[in-house]
Structure 1
Amino acid sequence: MLAVRVPKCEAEKTRRKLVELGVLAKGYAVKREGEFILFPVTEPVEGFELVEAEFKKLERRPHSYREVVEVPEGIKPLLPSSFDIIGDIAIIELPEELMEYGRAIGEAILKVHRHIKAVFAKGSKVEGEYRVRELIHLAGENRTETLHRENGIRLRLDVAKVYFSPRLATERMRVFETAQPGEVVFDMFAGVGPYAVLLAKKAKLVFAVDLNPWAIKYLEENVRLNKARNVVPILGDVRKVAGKVTADRVIMNLPKFADRFLREAMLSVKDGGVIHYYGFGPEEDLYSEHEAKIKAVARELGFKVEFLDERRVRPYAPRQFNIAIDFRVLK
């Protein structure tokens, strides 16, 4: 096979040039010969030493579990195109027709994604006051505790005992980038601390509240794990904490019920402080209902609000979106 032969010190520069020219042969491993590197090419390249060489063909790894899963052809179109990865655990949502093939699907995910050690199917919707769901073990290790990394922090959690969505990582980083150094933050529904621990890098103090004892247990562990000593974990009903803290920034990550806690949020933010509110909205009118509720609560308290930003965070259901509204409270 035709090859370009260059000294090791020029290898990376040469590789980039061959890619740019579109002549680097794909699917072959480069070859080392003493102090030289050989690149397989599809045609002669001017300005380089050309030689004949044999190259080892690379085994193509599948990109998706759907390429290797063993299920009847007729149901392959039903296979989900995505799933959540939390640490080394995969959680997939399967339609009822696919549940009997759950083990095969789980094994295929493990085969393609070597870093995943356990696969579960969603057995119910997120429900209850602790916002957790039933999980059905499909393949791999039968454990639900893991260590998840995102945005430069580490979070230990049990996916069966606490609510956590890896799909909000970008939104959490957006809030972090919005925050100013030295702020006091009130995280009203903190979970295991993805907002609180991240914001602790900038904040003077973070009050992090959750009703779920397991969430607070893992939050306390994550505080230690990340040396976030300025996070104050609080177990209990956020209504009993609201008004006792005065924060520059309030996080309301409880999309289904956040509107019920607007009064508590506004009483806890300082004059001119910012609230990050989350909710669900229909595609045809994402924000109006939430804006109306925010304005109504502000009027009751004798406050004014200034809307700063509104955006879709992620799809939630057909034609439904998880939305975010940032607003300033003027007292």
Structure 2
Amino acid sequence: MLAVKVPKREAEKIRKKLLELGVLAKGYAIKREGDFVLFPVTGQVEGFELVESEFERLEKRYHSYREVVEVPEELRPLLPSSFDIIGDIAIIELPEKLMPYGRVIGEAILKVHRHIKAVFAKGSKVEGEYRVRELIHLAGESRTETVHRENGIRLKLDVARVYYTPRLATERRRVFEKTQPGEVVFDMFAGVGPYSILLAKRAKLVFACDINPWAIRYLEENVRLNKVNNVVPILGDVRKVAGKIKADRVVMNLPKFADRFLREAMMSVKPGGIVHYYGFGPEEDLFSEHEVKIKAVAKELGLSVEFLDRRKVRPYAPRQFNIAIDFKVE
């Protein structure tokens, strides 16, 4: 094809000129030959040296898998606009009508996002004592173990065996920034350690409890992976641990059922200590129901609470939000 041949030192200036003239051929890699640069052009260009040359085609870049996926036109509005990426695994929530097209959707995600190696669809809600969900393999490698990076730490986990959401990375960073050197932290529902490992970078000691043996197994591995030596993994029911630990800061990341463990949290926090409580709330009244429960439990225990912060963390369902309440216990 036709090309404009220019000295290297003038290449950027000429490139801009060719763009202005609308003659620079798109979709081809620019070629270098010794001290010259060759720009592919769509036709004759006056005032420049023209040569014949072959150019390597560039693969088109896409911003979303929806640009390349092939599904019936009437179903396109149902395609999710986002999905979770955990390490090199994508997990997407597909409406029932799109499930027959799961494979082509998965392959489209792999095509657009080259760092993703496996794609799964959510097959159920998060449920059960271990807070895990069924996953349906759509495309790519048929494995569920990966290493995820966030906030400067690495987390090895199996997305089919433990609960983990990347959507709380900002919230975890917020709690980290509030944590003071020398503090003792109690992470009541630690999972694979996204809070525990991060807070260990600043706290004196972190007690990390979870009832899921797979979570504790990965937590122990993540302690080694991140080279922290001040995390104490505890496998078991947090009810049996509560009160044996006295912490400056307690993390209650179990939004669906955290209100059932308020007694255990308050039994485990030192006077003047902080509790980070998570729950779900309706859009019209995000916090009231949770604050009433917090006050009631404190009263039962002869304690008082001071609410320090209330936050809308992320959307959870239509008109429902994951919320955070920070409160001090005296």
TM-score bracket relative to the smaller structure = 0.7 to 0.9
When residues 52 and 131 of structure 1 are mapped into structure 2, their CA distance, relative to the original with a 3 A threshold, is farther
1:310 aligned residue: 310
CA distance in 2, matches of 1:254, 1:328: 19
Distance 1:316 1:98 in 2: 21
Alignment partner of 1:62 is 2:62: yes
Query: Does the 8 Å CA contact 2:130/2:162 hold for their aligned counterparts?
Result: yes
Give 1:59 shift: 3.8
CA distance in 2, matches of 1:39, 1:311: 53
Q: In the alignment, which residue of structure 2 is the partner of 1:95? A: 95
How much has 1:263 moved relative to structure 2?
1.0
Unaligned runs of 5+ in 2: 42-46
CA contact (8 A) 2:5 2:37 kept: no
Q: Which residue of structure 2 lines up, in the alignment, with residue 82 of structure 1?
A: 82
Match of 1:179 in 2: 179
Q: How many residues are paired up?
A: 316
- SS where residue 233 of structure 1 aligns? strand
Match of 1:274 in 2: 274
Give yes or no for contact 2:245–2:268 (8 Å, CA) kept in 1: yes
Note the alpha carbon deviations across 1:13-45, whole angstroms, 9 max, x for none: x79xx7xxx99978665555656778999xxxx
Q: Once the 2 structures are TM-superposed, how far is the Cα of residue 226 of structure 1 from its aligned partner?
A: 0.6
Q: Is the 8 A contact 1:6 1:38 kept in 2?
A: no
Quote the sequence identity (%). 80
Question: 2:246 maps to which residue?
Answer: 246
Residues 5 and 36 in structure 2, CA contact (< 8 A), matched pair in contact too:
no
Aligned to 2:151: 151
1:149-186 CA-to-partner distances (Å, cap 9, x unmatched) read 11111111111110000111111111111111121100
In 2 relative to 1, CA 294–59 (structure 1 residues): closer, same or farther, beyond 3 Å?
A: same
1:293-321 Cα distance to aligned partner (Å, 9 max, x none): 11111111121111111111111000000
Structure 1 residue runs of 5 or longer lacking an equivalent are 42-49
- Contact 1:146 1:156 (C-alpha < 8 Å) held by counterparts: yes
CA–CA distance in 1 between the matches of 2:200 and 2:186? 11
Question: Shift in Å at residue 193 of structure 1?
Answer: 0.3
CA distance in 2, matches of 1:306, 1:7: 66
Cα-to-partner distance string for 1:127-154 (whole Å, 9 max, x where unaligned): 0010000111111111111111111111
Partner in structure 1 of residue 117 of structure 2: 117
- Mapped to 2, the partners of 1:4 and 1:329 lie a distance apart of 72
TM-score computed with the length of structure 1 as normaliser: 0.87
Identify the residue that residue 265 of structure 1 maps to in structure 2. 265
**Partner Cα separation in structure 1 for residue 175 and residue 33 of structure 2:** 51
CA distance in 2, matches of 1:214, 1:266: 27
Alpha-carbon RMSD across the aligned residues, in angstroms, is 2.8
CA contact (8 A) 1:3 1:40 kept: no
3-state DSSP of counterpart to 1:94: coil
Give the CA deviation at 1:60: 2.5
**1:167 is aligned to 2:132:** no
> What secondary structure does 1:245 align onto?
coil
Matched-pair contact (CA < 8 Å) for 2:28–2:58: yes
Matched residues in 2 for 1:277 and 1:3: separation? Answer: 65
Provide TM-score, normalisation by structure 2: 0.87
Q: Secondary structure at the match of 2:190?
A: coil
Matched-pair contact (CA < 8 Å) for 2:205–2:231: yes
1:193 corresponds to 2:193: yes
Q: Quick one: distance in 2 between partners of 1:183 and 1:56?
A: 58
CA contact (8 A) 2:31 2:38 kept: yes
Q: Distance in 2 between matches of 1:248 and 1:272?
A: 8
SS in 1 for 2:157: strand
C-alpha distance in structure 2 between counterparts of 1:103 and 1:231, whole Å? 41
Secondary structure at 1:157 match in 2: strand
Aligned to 1:180, the other structure's residue is in SS state coil
CA distance in 1, matches of 2:276, 2:314: 16
Q: Is the 8 A contact 1:7 1:37 kept in 2?
A: no
